[in-house]
Structure 1
């Protein structure tokens, strides 16, 4: 939760607003007091949507349908007004964590609790379908956990059964990883679609991971439609039933009535796994202790006035620590707004900036830097990070001093895991920055997750990291699942090929397949694509001759071995092909640079000597180290600044709530922008803001442009 902004209204429709639960593209959700004194969640629609008469009609129809819900495990609609200047909808408030948060904090659920969860959710969907609705967004973030049972929330995209979709044909509405194959294809959906989503939820709760994996939405949607779910570790008591729920054909799925029969009655006595009842009770108690809200500045009382009232009400008894800052965990992501799935937080007042009372010194925040000290990239990271640390520590009015602590992982996966564990075990370390490679970075994820310390990965882009957003690790760049952003943008904006050949080197097929899929399945390239697969024991001569004979407009090399990429470049040149050729940074090496004159290369790092947007950083680096920044120095600088952004917001509880603060809002650095999508529960570096294009010239690579500048008119 966040306190109200001065621009927020104090009341809507007779409901006194108390705090913000979240905000998204559609509007803002507030915690509010009803005229009768009960807490509720009130969603106010943004004016740009309210100005659309068609939207008002849809909003009116859907709130009327939702108001008919009386199922035990749904959240009732208390009131709504589709004709207000900003339409709004109020529902009962559930002060508990979401299932998504519970899975992150507590792990998979035992069989008995899964059966009770399934029984309640099946009953909830039965009530939804009986009212003529299809929920269409059943997922862990939309299931709140109360002491007496779960509550299914968010009917913001529900549709009446049989009513024509209100979106264009082919659109996808819902959350990737939980929506049905027919929903993923943008087709009409009915009650069986919710059954599929329920199967995804139960399997996730049983195993602790989404059944169709994680990563970019396109990859998850593809797996939902074309591949089998990952049901390893689903208990035997649920396995067969969940498999039927996840049938690709809607007609092969069980009905909700059959599910209710199979799950049996909900058992309130055993429904929450060990550890969760205390969390649920604590959340409920904290909300009940809140004072009755007063007005915002529009009512003549400042927001800080009510903030002080809340802080005073939450002060500990005499003898306890007296820091004004309190971070109270609160659940209730309601109605599909952008609320972080792993926890939202009360933040009132400021912590004592002087740290230990009477010393006049500031508290310390320690950031660990993990990597191979013999790797030049580690040195670049360390120097970029040191510039950011010095810059922060020289800022007047800062709340803390920053300390950088480096740890050598020896360049091996085993060493990375051990070094990460050492950093994470140090209670002073608030965050770990991983500068390792695709071979070492994944090994550090488990150690950081076990210690509940946040980790930011800067350099690695292996598909093995697609799932880390469900742990404590966040990626500061896209993985290969997203495709190579800079070169795809170059092809689409500059070359505009009618036909392109993707040369797929099967030497590392598991990794490079994602790049191929991004073009052939997910259509991230505008032109037609032909794939030439080359086995590890074959050369590229025959494929190059076919490409040259066809006269294709461009060639994209999908592979990661510099020597193999060099052989492809040589074969194309000798076959007489003269069109544009592109690849990503993994092909860079001496032999490739000697063979690939003119090739375009996409990278995740900028060139500090040529990128005009980072002149100030380059100057600071030169002043400190008497040399220009090497590749990855600016990205490390950005990562430290992003960490400071979160640490400043987290205050005294830096380590325990840092990840939530980092997810709270989009952040723009000098090299990239990162953001969290609450609907898909996915954190990512924006594809075009953090990708860069280079050209091979005279056996070296020279900076061309940032991806987001490619194709823009030059001044």
Structure 2
């Protein structure tokens, strides 16, 4: 489990932006970090006695150098380290999967095939560690992480090994009771056989669901480890003798890691995890990838932190009776409108546009003070006599630029009457609007933007009312699973948009949510898509997911697939919907975060009211902006006139059902929770236009 950063924690260490605490102990703190390119890392910072001991630093530097030589793919690699820092630190690759301990606790003992893969690959991992001159010293279920392509051994030879200044001398016990060897328990010098003993304990735990030397106090467990035989009831017959050899009390009687590898033999990993665990691994991966980036921490005195600016996002509302003149219908470049429940935002035509609104509403007490009733979509104020607040709309033009957005948000935030901002802008404008609102403790509701930058909103005053791009085009993925059901899906990863669409995000999204076999074709910035298209067309019925955000590049991919004779299903996300792609993307399915209000049965009443008021059909994001204002009104009705600083907390309290989606947030990380009614929608490109097909939860029922 992880926990938020504390006020005393740094926000950055060298090239790693810190996101969460993964754990802490006598040796220091382990953080979850992210590089500027998006790679995740476990960053271990040594504090206390070790940080001030020159001998410790020398050993730390030596073991880091040795650890860099470990070549096993089943051991997490060292990414960077600094033994000379004020507080020495080490960063290793982070595996966003559950540990063996978590998996067994949640799903019970692993089946024989999974145990065989686990044993064989961990033996190979230890063989690599020992060949590099290291001893792990703390092989246990919590230090073995599960991934779809095999286990990973973490914390080898560094974090635990340097946990005490007298680490390499006799008399020091490093490890976890129940999994450390008898010689460790006695405080004697340890070698590679000690790791083999621990591996035997891990395999017994994985196969039976319980520790080989029982539970209870540390002293009792250590006594049983040294003097009693292990409890191996339930260990499969084919494994029993090998585990008993690993758990021999005398180190010389145990097999080496290399011998264990020979026992387990060669095998194909394939789908090695039992039923239920792949979903757990995928969910953990998606959750970690979607983690927000906290605000930089202010640290007194010298610090290794190179803090970044506050992460961005935006949206507002205001209090006070000042009237606002109505806006004329038309396309809003910088402001969206919405009175108590009725957004007056002008949506763009289909495809990308410069519609980057930031709108604010003022809430004034209404009489009588009863529960707020539903608002009429045809007027600028709430029509129900039971309402407790009236909202008045203000808009601010951001001119389609980040600088304009920041300036507009600052003006809204400076107005004490403003209670909440609805930000319906783009991935360029919305992040820039967040800092001024955060500084003013002004709640921001984000409707349209889906940048990974907005994953940081749990440390701001913003809430994102949709799934970000991290989770992928949910409706299109569901279409493949429920309707197409291909034997294989090829992810075409467009490296030209790598900065905006991290490859790890896209690939993890696919592996976690597609039922089919998955392959990846990477296309470089200076490449066209003809080579990838020819390879894909060799299996013409394979499905294709375009993982990119450029309409021009998506158009090039679509043309190449068409010319190569590809016949399978083709899907992409909403960012490809521009004129170049629409001209050539016939029959592609597109997953979006917005609906067609005129075609969606649950939004038709809103669409009719919109047309009556504005003499035109609502475009993309109009219904979503409408929901955002209704959601804000629900919270303002509860917090009353003093709601600026408490509105966000009120909105996080429970789920709310709008006309476009169900809005709810994960209670700890506070990110938008997707589900069957997650606000995912499917469109189909037909005759040069994207036409609404279905809501995500209806796919397979109506298509």
Task: Confirm whether residue 533 of structure 1 aligns to residue 516 of structure 2.
Answer: no
Q: Secondary structure at the match of 1:385?
A: coil
1:542 Cα deviation from its structure 2 partner: 1.2
Aligned partner of 1:414 in structure 2 is 403
| 1:165 aligned residue (91, 100, 105) | 105
Q: Which residue matches 1:620?
A: 609
Kept in 1, the 8 Å contact 2:597–2:618? The answer is: yes
Equivalent pair of 2:590/2:682 in contact (CA under 8 Å): yes
In structure 1, C-alpha distance between the alignment counterparts of 2:304 and 2:556, rounded to whole Å = 48
Contact 1:478-1:685 at 8 Å conserved across structures:
yes
Is structure 2 residue 697 aligned with structure 1 residue 708? yes
Query: Partners of 1:639 and 1:534 in 2: how far apart?
Result: 38
Q: Provide the secondary structure at the position in 1 that maps to 2:396.
A: strand
User: For residue 629 of structure 2, what is the aligned residue in structure 1?
Assistant: 640
How far, CA to CA, are the matches of 2:468 and 2:593 in structure 1?
Answer: 10
Tell me how far 1:529 sits from its aligned partner.
1.3
* Aligned match of 2:40: none
**Retained in 1: the 8 A contact 2:290–2:470?**
no
Judged with a 3 Å threshold, the aligned counterparts in structure 2 of structure 1 residues 165 and 515 are, in CA distance, closer, same or farther, namely: closer
2:540/2:567 contact within 8 Å kept: no
Higher mean displacement: 479-488 or 386-395: 386-395
- Tell me if 1:218 matches 2:298: no
Q: 2:343 aligns with which of 385, 399, 409?
A: 385
Corresponding residue for residue 489 of structure 1: 478
Confirm or deny: 8 A CA contact 2:493 2:503 kept in the other structure: no
Partner deviation per Cα, 1:254-311 (whole Å, 9 max, x = no partner): xxxxxxxxxxxxxxxxxxxxxxxxxxxxxxxxxxxxxxxxxxxxxxxxxxxxxxxxxx
Name the one with the larger helix percent: 1
Residue segments in structure 1 that go unaligned for 5+ positions in a row:
1-98, 111-117, 126-158, 172-178, 200-214, 241-361
The whole-number CA distance in structure 2 between the counterparts of 1:592 and 1:413 is 26
Indicate the residue corresponding to 1:404 in structure 2: 393
Label 1:572 to 1:107 Cα distance change in 2 as closer, same or farther (>3 A): same
Number of residue equivalences: 427
1:563 matches 2:552: yes
Is 2:525 the partner of 1:546? Answer: no
Which residue of the partner structure matches residue 567 of structure 2?
A: 578
Q: Name the structure 2 match of 1:651.
A: 640
Q: How does 1:307-706 map to 2 (within 5 A)?
A: 364=321, 375=332, 385-386=343-344, 388=377, 390=379, 392-513=381-502, 517-519=506-508, 522-684=511-673, 686=675, 688-706=677-695
**Residue-by-residue CA offset, 1:15-59 (whole Å, 9 max, x unaligned):** xxxxxxxxxxxxxxxxxxxxxxxxxxxxxxxxxxxxxxxxxxxxx
Secondary structure of 2:513's counterpart equals: coil
Distance in 1 separating the partners of 2:102 and 2:466 = 42
- What's the CA shift for 1:626? 2.3
**Which residue of structure 1 lines up, in the alignment, with residue 125 of structure 2?**
none
- SS of corresponding position for 1:624: helix
Measured after TM superposition, the shift of residue 540 of structure 1 is 0.9
Q: CA deviation at 1:216?
A: 8.4
CA drift of 1:231 comes to: 11
Counterpart Cα distance in 2 of 1:180 and 1:443: 40
Instruction: Give distance in 2, aligned partners of 1:607 and 1:162.
Output: 43
Give the secondary structure class of the aligned counterpart of 2:644: helix
CA spacing shift, 1:190–1:412, aligned 2, 3 Å: closer
What residue number does 2:189 align with? none
**1:603-647 superposed Cα distances (whole Å, 9 cap, x missing partner):** 111111211111221122122122221111100100000000111
TM-score (norm 1): 0.52
Q: Kindly state the Cα deviation for residue 541 of structure 1 after the two structures are TM-superposed.
A: 1.0
CA offset at residue 121 of structure 1?
Answer: 7.7
User: For each residue in 1:227-266, what CA deviation from the matched residue of structure 2 results, as whole angstroms up to 9, or x when unmatched?
Assistant: xx999988898979xxxxxxxxxxxxxxxxxxxxxxxxxx
User: Shift of residue 588 of structure 1?
Assistant: 1.1
Deviations 1:200-227 (CA, angstroms, capped at 9, x unpaired): xxxxxxxxxxxxxxx9853454699xxx
| TM alignment of 1:154-193, pairs within 5 A | 165=105, 167-168=107-108, 182=144
* Closer, same or farther: CA 181–567 of 1 in aligned 2, 3 Å: farther
Question: Are the aligned partners of 2:537 and 2:566 in contact in 1 as well (CA < 8 Å)?
Answer: yes
Asked if structure 2 preserves the Cα contact closer than 8 Å seen for 1:392 and 1:398, the reply is no
Gaps of 5+ in 2: 13-20, 29-98, 112-140, 164-281, 306-318, 345-375
Over residues 515-560 of structure 1, what are the superposed CA-to-partner deviations in whole Å (9 max), with x where a residue is unaligned? Answer: 7534467421111111111112211111111111123421111111
Q: Contact (CA 8 Å) 2:489, 2:544: kept in 1 or not?
A: yes
The match for 2:273 is none
- 1:541–1:188 CA distance, 2 compared to 1 (3 A): closer
The correspondence of residues 109-124 of structure 1 with structure 2, limited to 5 A, is none
Q: Distance in 2 between matches of 1:648 and 1:481?
A: 33
Change (3 A) 1:709 1:521: closer
What is the CA–CA distance in structure 2 between the aligned matches of 1:554 and 1:369, rounded to whole Å?
Answer: 48
Q: Is the 8 A contact 1:504 1:512 kept in 2?
A: no
1:100 & 1:516 partners in 2: Cα distance? 22
Q: 5 Å matches for 1:230-249?
A: none
Give the match's secondary structure for 1:532: strand
Q: How far, CA to CA, are the matches of 2:342 and 2:666 in structure 1?
A: 28
Whether the 8 Å CA contact 2:570–2:589 is kept in 1: the answer is: yes
TM-score when normalising by structure 2: 0.53
Cα distance in 2 for residues equivalent to 1:597 and 1:522: 26
Query: Radius of gyration: which is bigger?
Result: 2
